[in-house]
Amino acid sequence: MLGEYWRGAARGVNSVFMFTLGTGIGGGLVIDGNLWNGRSGIAGEVGHTIVQINGPRCACGNRGCLEALASGTAIVRNYQERKRMKQSLTARQVVERARKGDMVAASVVRQAGEALGVGIANVFHLVNPALILLGGGVSRAGKLLIQPAVGKARSLIRPALRRYLRIRRGQLGDDAGVLGAAYLGFRSIGLDVHETL
Ligand SMILES: [Zn+2]
């Protein structure tokens, strides 16, 4: 989140929430240039917010967490279950299959997108950020995932408020984390980071 704020898709935006969609789902909130950590560092753990009561079991022990429905791990598990297959594969491979016309793969990715949309609507109502960013490997699924996510999120937001929903994909890919760490490091020694590099 900090990397994207400093050098990427959230430059100059004063309130941003980022979903990082990968094997798990994480998140981060930047307000006025500062990452909001919460008291014990778990702020932004959007992956463990519950989007489906009695939904599938999450690694954390609860049911219906966003991570149990929309992470890469969930996409793979749902695909394997629907196809009754034991062969191991990656979320990227499920997405490739969806692109090639595998209807089950497309449906699994769409369902993940809809769950993500519920998470996005929740964040929108709770934080009302100027921008919501989507990053992480699973976000590379592109339209297949993001269209249903945006559609679902919009359907959960009152019409008069929908125009305030802004969603973008991150720009920095795997470099976002290291740039964010650099940003924190520079700031901790008092460098004016917007002049640095
Ligand atoms: Zn969980």
Q: What is the pLDDT of residue 195?
A: 57
Name the average pLDDT for the chain.
95
Domain boundaries, the chain: 2-72+114-188
Bridge partner residues of 65 (DSSP):
50
Q: How far away, in angstroms, is 62 Cα from ligand 1 center?
A: 5
Query: Which of 19-23, 53-57, 78-82, 84-88 shows the lowest per-residue confidence on average (mean pLDDT)?
Result: 84-88
138: Cβ contacts below 8 Å, ≥ 6 apart: 21, 22, 70, 71, 72, 75, 91, 112, 145
Neighbours of ion ligand 1 (CB under 5 A): 48, 58, 60, 62, 65
Q: What is the pLDDT of residue 33?
A: 83
Per-residue pLDDT tens digits for 52-68: 999 999 999 999 999 99
Query: 2-72+114-188: which CATH topology?
Result: Nucleotidyltransferase; domain 5 (3.30.420)
pTM: predicted TM-score of the whole model, two decimal places: 0.95
